[in-house]
Amino acid sequence: MRHLTTLRAGLSALLVVGAWATIGPASASAADDALPAATRAATAAPQPASDGLLAAMGKDFGLTPAQVRTRLAAEKTATAKEPAARRAAGASYGGSWFDAGTGRLTVGVTDARAAAAVRAAGADVELVAHTQRALDRAKSGIDALAAPDGVASWHVDAEAGSVVVNVVAASAKDEEVRSFLAEARATGPVTVRQVAAAPRTFAAGTVGGDPYYTGNVRCSIGFSVYGGFVTAGHCARAGASVRGWDGSAIGNFQGSTFPGDDYAWVNVANGWWTVPVVLGWGTISDQLVRGSAEAPIGASICRSGSTTHWHCGTVLAKNETVNYSQGAVYQMTKTNVCAEGGDSGGSFISGDQAQGVTSGGWGNCSTGGETWHQPINEILNRYGLRLHTA
């Protein structure tokens, strides 16, 4: 790859070295004093939160920079406690989620006798009617059904104690949708919700000046791995060649799956190299990637993509099956972060932890919408890849 000297070059591809900001410790505040000791300690440590990130999240969440720092620290604490709290719940585990109101992790249990052990692990407890295993079993039964176009997606909702099936409002009364819902209810507890539109993938036709192209399709780079980067599977099939923003060759799709899953990875050659960075596109400083700890439901999450650049929102659901027109995709994470065509494959990140690659959704960044991503750890395990971290 030829030498790049302009600011545009520095911001245009994840594989080109970007500006790495050094983040200092958060300042103390009255809000910090109200936090538990473990969270205060996390707040006092260096945080992956530049002034730009604090401002971007503040805009999307309606929070002050101090409140964003407090939330990020609380989410980091909740993420760290989730594995131990899940183990403490044992067979009665009924799912977990981050409560933005309390700033704490909540774990559902079906047996009150497990509550003390869960609290000892640092989580709040809520009694629920069904275990996570039972709800997952019901969802698997729905996965086996043939879903009509009017059914957008379905996922386990631990707080609701059921499998939530999302139906496009305009199709809610269609006979095939009603028939599908009747079959779905036979698998276990089901709640039906209406959504504004059907999901679609976010690939786009060729437009100049964006991260990568394959054929006449533009998509976005997800995360650097040693030897390449991960992205969305619907962008191209294995073997397809990839060009960078400047038209120079990067490499080829080494593996790609869609539908069923929506992930792929591309090798890096021809003078390109990898760095553990997610682009801030001038909205915020480029963000370092330090790991891939999975954020809980309810946690904040941000997305970087080549069309709409940087936006933030909340994790709404996990293990959701999304019914695209091309076929169903399983084990997706749903967020209320917006996206548009060309953002496919781009990065979802929570703090400094990689979360997944953008798949698709509905809506846009003018009126809002929802977007799904394929979890990063699943992609790494599938292809035997190692995330490039700082």
In the residue annotation, 51 being an active-site residue is answered as no
Residue where the block lists tokens 């909702």:
157
CA distances from 98 to 3, 143, 185, 261, 375 (A): 45, 26, 28, 26, 18
| Eight-state DSSP code of residue 181 | H
d(CA 293, CA 303): 16
Phi and psi at residue 229, to the nearest 5°: -145, 160
In the residue annotation, 262 being an active-site residue is answered as yes
Rounded to the nearest 5 percent, the helix, strand and coil shares of the chain are 25, 35, 40
Smallest CA-to-CA distance from 156 within 134, 180, 126 is with: 134
Q: Which of 60, 262, 343, 352 is catalytic?
A: 262
11 membership: H or E segment, kind and range: helix 7-12
Rama region for 215: left / alpha / beta (φ>0; ψ in -120 to 50; rest): left
> Is residue 7 within 8 Å of 36, Cβ to Cβ?
no
d(CA 26, CA 192): 43
In the residue annotation, 234 being an active-site residue is answered as yes
Q: Which of 12, 96, 153, 234 is catalytic?
A: 234
The reply to whether omega before 259 is within 30° of 0 (cis) is yes
Q: Which of 292, 306, 344, 359 is catalytic?
A: 344
Instruction: Give the CB-side neighbour count of residue 273, counting CA atoms within 13 A.
Output: 6
- Bridge partners (DSSP) of residue 260 are 329
Residues involved in catalysis: 234, 262, 344
